[in-house]
Amino acid sequence: MTLEELNRLPEQEAMANLAMCCGSSVWVGQMVKRRPFESEEQLIESGKDVWFACTRNDWLEAFSHHPKIGDVDSLETKFATTQEWAGDEQGSVASARRETLEKLARLNKTYEARFGYIFIVCATGKSSEEMLEIIELRLKNNPYDEIKIAASEQNRITKLRLKKLLS
């Protein structure tokens, strides 16, 4: 889809397309209201501005639209609309060693119990071992710092997905 096509989409179609980039309904609604975008850069910058003006609850809503790192079952069922993008983003997990996957699964549960939401990381270009190191480090964060880190990671994911939307 081109930027011009995104700008011209009926509101409901624009919302559905933008929801594939970020699962926050507030973010989607605000982005639709900001159309038309003059450039890809303006779209990306608007996405960032809207995202960081969102509330913690909006962030949590967006996080809930992601599969857990390495959770193949949820990729195939719950996240069917973004399965291809999420699969590409988590591609390195598919070839990970079993013990790495098991440790990721265990640390995902620990992370979720500690912070109340799933571990969010922009997985594109990262190996499963790198993601394992990242989650181990981030488990040491306090909740205040961690939500900001998770929100920044979501913003990175959204930026990549906006670019995919326009490709």
Active-site residue list: 66
CB neighbourhood size of 117 (10 A): 19
Peptide bond into 10 cis (omega under 30): no
**Residues 47 and 22: beta-carbon distance below 8 Å:** yes
Query: What is the radius of gyration, based on Cα positions, of the chain?
Result: 16
**Residues 104 and 72: beta-carbon distance below 8 Å:** no
CB neighbourhood size of 104 (10 A): 23
**Residues 141 and 149: beta-carbon distance below 8 Å:** yes
